[in-house]
A = this chain, B = another copy of it.
């Protein structure tokens, strides 16, 4: 089986990379920053996006691409409810977004009017790491209830990312979570990566994330 499937997978990967390059050119031509947000289901991707919209809505224009495995538009509806354009990619059960899907979704957004494009990947701590989308930055959101051992168990997704957001720190009093152990795991995989501890519920720490983001947009 191996001799048959590997060449096909390689072909898919290189096709993905060349389409990712085209996506990047398209974002650059529109003069916007594109970021790809990856996380486990329920880590708070949409909550971080809504906090980001709330912080930036008076000065910048954001657009969001929502990756979902099913047709429900729960997350896209929230973004639209917050006053920003959103488009959903329904992957039809697929476990990640790829550059082809993003290329197809981009024309549905008014790219030339945007300053920032946020892509919310499918909730999955494994597969999205393998597919370059062409965005300028990759961000992983971890959350306190997931546990402090995740960098050790799911290392690939933390490699090569530009920022790590640890969300749900409001739950720290109720959960055994060793932040030093977690950070040590992240540092071993990705030394010096930007690291933010936040609570989307209380708003704690959100401004540091926004500062980092704004510096990249300007």
Contact size range, A: 35 or more
A143 interface hit (Cβ, 8 Å) = yes
Q: Mark A115-158, 1 if CB is under 8 A from B, else 0.
A: 00000001111110000000000000001011101101111100
A171 interface hit (Cβ, 8 Å) = yes
Residues B11 and A1 in contact, CB atoms below 8 Å apart: yes
Residues A153 and B123 in contact, CB atoms below 8 Å apart: yes
Min CB distance A20 to B, Å, is 15
How long is the Cα–Cα vector from A123 to B168 in the complex, in angstroms?
20
Q: Given B68, B94, B145, B147, which contacts A153 in the complex, CB threshold below 8 Å?
A: B68
Residues B41 and A153 in contact, CB atoms below 8 Å apart: yes
Residues B72 and A153 in contact, CB atoms below 8 Å apart: yes
Residues B40 and A153 in contact, CB atoms below 8 Å apart: no
* Docked complex: A162-214 residues within 8 A CB-CB of B: 168, 170-171, 174-175
Q: Which residues of A contact B (CB under 8 A)?
A: 1, 4-5, 8, 11-12, 15, 40-42, 68-70, 72, 74-75, 93-95, 122-127, 143, 145-147, 149-150, 152-156, 168, 170-171, 174-175
